Amino acid sequence: MENLNLIYTGKTKNVYALENGNCLLKFKDDCTGKDGVFDPGENSVGLTIEGVGDVNLRMSIYFFEKINAAGIYTHYVNADLSNTTMEVLKAKPFGHGLEVICRHKAVGSFIRRYGAYIESGADLPAYVEMTFKDDEKGDPLVTKDALAALGVMTEEQYDTIKDMTQKITQIVADDLKEKGLILYDIKFEYGYDADGKVMLIDEIASGNMRVYKDGEYIDPMTLSKLFFA
């Protein structure tokens, strides 16, 4: 890794440039959370769990291959488990980066915002929302109209991302359901290629989703163990 050009240091991954024009993601053992407690809705690293980078990569490989097989465009090229790395297509971010959340249940920040109107754990209709990646401002929510007005993306790109997100979330939820697990919410990141085509980027791992079993929340490492059992 020391011979590669580090172009970005993220919360849970580092990004390196490859000579072939692609990028290499190095998965780390860091998780987002607060006060030592994992929370995929938090905007900073809250704890380190040994081995979480490896299991996040394994789950990402599993789902990216499944999503690619469904005809949905992603940045995934290949992976090297021995080095905890994944080769991906180069993608441009929307603005300074967006996170896209799909919610099947009302939990986390959704309840903190709208708890006066809905009970915790209530069903949601694959509700999609987007936030700017901005730690100082707490990853603020942003609407379709605002994204278009700011020139971050077109209305058509927004609709494409929403449609992709709902389809991908259903793929993940159906797979988890077969294992007796219920997906409450999940977050994704998207970018676009040189032709402007939207693609799913980043990872699809236990640290990006809330999953429950028999009404109890499953932490990321336990989820990974159950998933690959």
- Determine which of 26-40, 67-81, 89-103, 185-199 has the lowest per-residue pLDDT on average: 26-40
Of 14, 129, 44, residue with least CA distance to 5: 14
Whether 180 shows a pLDDT value over 90: the answer reads yes
Average pLDDT (160-168) is 99
CATH 3.30.470.20 placement within the chain = 92-227
Q: How many percent of the chain have pLDDT more than 90?
A: 77
- Domain 92-227 CATH class label: alpha beta
Location of structure tokens 């401002």: 137
pTM of the model: 0.91
With a CB cutoff of 8 Å and minimum separation 6, the contacts of 181 are 211, 212, 213, 218, 223, 226, 227
The pLDDT value recorded for residue 49 is: 75
What is the per-residue pLDDT across 27-59, written as a single tens digit (0 to 9) for each?
A: 998 777 666 666 655 656 667 778 888 989 999
The pLDDT value recorded for residue 48 is: 79
CATH 3.30.200.20 placement within the chain = 5-88
Is the CATH number 3.90.110.10 carried by domain 5-88? no
